[in-house]
Copies of this chain bind each other. A is one copy, B any other.
Amino acid sequence: MTLPHVIVVGGGFGGLAAIHALRHAPVRITLIDKRNHHLFQPLLYQVATASLAPSDIAEPLRVILAKQPNVDVLLAEVTAVDTDRKVITADGRELAYDHLIVATGARGSYFGHDAWAAHAPGLKTIGDALAIRRKILMAFERADLLNEPRERAKQLTFVVIGGGPTGVEMAGAIREIALASVPTDFRHIHPRDVRVILVEAGQDLLPPFPADLRASARKQLEGLGVEVRTGVPVRDIQAGVVVLGEERIEAATIVWAAGVRGSALGAALGAPLDRSGRVIVEPDCSIPGHPEVRVIGDLANYAHGREAPLPGVAPVAITMGQYVAQAILDDLAGKPHRKFRYLDKGSLATVGYSLAVAAIGKVHLSGVVAWLIWVFVHLMTLVGHRNRVVVFVKWAWAWAVSDRSSRLLWQDEAERDGASGS
């Protein structure tokens, strides 16, 4: 007798939570991901701003799952799902499933302006983070050589679009590079020459936070010297130019942290999608007519009994992953499904070293206490014990000596060296 086959697509927080919850289950699991690693997205901005190395926040999926014998890992991209035949296509190969968990997450969305992507990269993968790091560091290198005031000002202007946690963290971190590293590294640049502008179309930063913390985050950012521009929609983005209302801002570095939409696989399921391309799921996270197909995490629009759909954050994805694993166990045992419940434990966002906001139930915290909670929560939830130790050492070191030693550039070496392999 062969065991039931559970295919999990996507090794993010949701997919891994489901697999972990099925560790003692009488099933065969195949995890399929187009990348070979789990990425700790909440700290990706620290790779982009040269505080951490890629390997500090990413852990190979095979390493994470090495001790779980009922899982096979497949490095491949799923391009099609046939829900009637219960078959997926991964890199041209067909695989049959009994249960399918789709947890492929979200990608950046430019709200229909796809041409903007070339000028304002998003921040979703390690490749994105290294490309943005390169842009930021090269802008300082170029400005250090320039005398012409307008071009120099353009190199030293950084625009971050989107006032959610990623945008706030990016803007604060770029401003901290200007304050901490620029004065020692670049002889001809003064921190006051460096302009960091955070743009948010809505009226406030960090919309899910309570009003007092939204105001506090803004005050902390402005204290670092970030220009916060809320209530201003982006009209256009061209190479090195952002148009805000009537104003044209010349900026060599533009980072997009504004919108996300569901990953492309969502549309392949034949289920209803919301305006952001997320799959509108049933109360048990399945899709209509196919109880054996479940969608979890950032790709799922789960609105049952709520004013707004559940937010695209790691705790929601983990809760959904654990829930659908339990539902599969219940199916195998012939038991009815329990009800899905999500308990919101609070929200955290950091602005910079010893600057943060935290909303934990009715308790609202700002500044260094919120920051210490942020540090603790992120260190404890980072995947991989070694990564926790290494990130702790790097953060402690950075705190002690104000140093950011990951600011390496290496992507263009191959081009410059030619094909000689030298």
- Which A residues lie at the B interface, using CB under 8 A? 34-37, 53-56, 58-60, 62-63, 66-67, 72, 74-75, 77, 106-110, 114, 117-118, 120-122, 124-128, 130-131, 137, 141, 145, 181, 184-187, 256, 263, 384, 386-387, 389-390, 393-394, 397, 401, 403, 405-411, 413-414, 416-417, 419-422
Contacts and interface: CB of A to CB of B under 8 A. Distances in A.
A393 B389 contact: yes
Given A106-B422, A108-B421, A122-B420, 20 more contacts: A35-B409, A36-B137, A36-B407, A53-B54, A53-B55, A53-B56, A54-B408, A55-B405, A60-B405, A66-B184, A114-B420, A117-B419, A117-B421, A121-B421, A125-B414, A126-B408, A127-B410, A386-B394, A390-B390, A393-B393
A54 B185 CA distance: 20
B387 A405 contact: yes
Contacts of A389: 393, 397
Contact of A410 (B54, B63, B405): B54
A39 to B, nearest CB: 9
A408 B55 contact: yes
A130 B107 CA distance: 25
A55 B406 CA distance: 5
Nearest to A416: B34
Contacts of A54: 53, 408, 410
A110 B54 CA distance: 32
